[in-house]
């Protein structure tokens, strides 16, 4: 991967951080109520490379975790999904591990059926989970002013 200049990464990372902060509402609101709010944000970038978006989502979530906020697969998935939601085929999935005494939940994002941000050897690889629910993440079309801009 070629190096990307920091001036292009900074807006992406700031958007990721803003979404991660907004996702903190999940402690008080259902996820299907938060998603439309996240996707309607006017600061979300367009045509973001999914690898860069994955990195930005992970770093934003970790930073909030260091500050005592919620750092989880759900926050990372909401951030990642929001950053790439300008294209079709983005979904957030919620799953659990079947057959285990503790019901362990997990969240992840896919783009056209391809899971983003995980390798096959990771403990929380989505292939180890049964999908309980999936929701599409499609950003609304940008609104134009009265003059069509």
Q: Give the C-alpha separation, 72 to 123, whole Å.
A: 14
- Give the Cα-Cα-Cα angle 76, 47, 135 (nearest 5 degrees): 45
Residues 6+ apart with CB under 8 A from 132: 94, 95, 96
Residuewise pLDDT in 10s, the chain (149 residues): 445 566 778 889 999 999 998 888 777 788 888 899 899 888 899 999 999 999 999 999 889 888 888 788 888 999 999 999 999 999 999 998 877 666 778 899 999 999 998 765 566 678 788 899 999 999 987 665 555 55
Q: What pLDDT does 88 receive?
A: 95
Report strand pairing: 114-115 vs 90-96. unpaired
Token pair in block for residue 11: 């807006």
Q: What pLDDT does 100 receive?
A: 67
What are residue 110's DSSP bridge partners? 91, 115
Contact present, 54 and 72 (Cβ < 8 Å): no
Q: Give the C-alpha separation, 35 to 32, whole Å.
A: 6
């Amino acid at each position: 991967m070629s190096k990307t200049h920091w001036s292009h990464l900074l807006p992406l990372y700031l958007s990721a951080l803003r979404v991660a902060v907004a996702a903190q509402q999940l402690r008080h609101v259902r996820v299907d109520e938060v998603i439309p709010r996240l996707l309607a944000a006017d600061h979300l970038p367009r045509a973001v490379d999914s690898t860069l978006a994955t990195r930005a989502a992970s770093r934003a979530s970790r930073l909030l975790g260091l500050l005592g906020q919620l750092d989880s697969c759900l926050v990372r998935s909401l951030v990642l999904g929001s950053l790439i939601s300008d294209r079709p085929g983005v979904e957030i999935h919620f799953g659990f591990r079947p057959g285990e005494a503790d019901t362990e939940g997990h969240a992840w994002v896919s783009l056209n059926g391809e899971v983003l941000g995980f390798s096959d050897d990771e403990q929380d690889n989505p292939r180890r989970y049964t999908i309980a629910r999936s929701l599409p993440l499609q950003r609304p079309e940008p609104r134009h002013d009265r003059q069509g801009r």
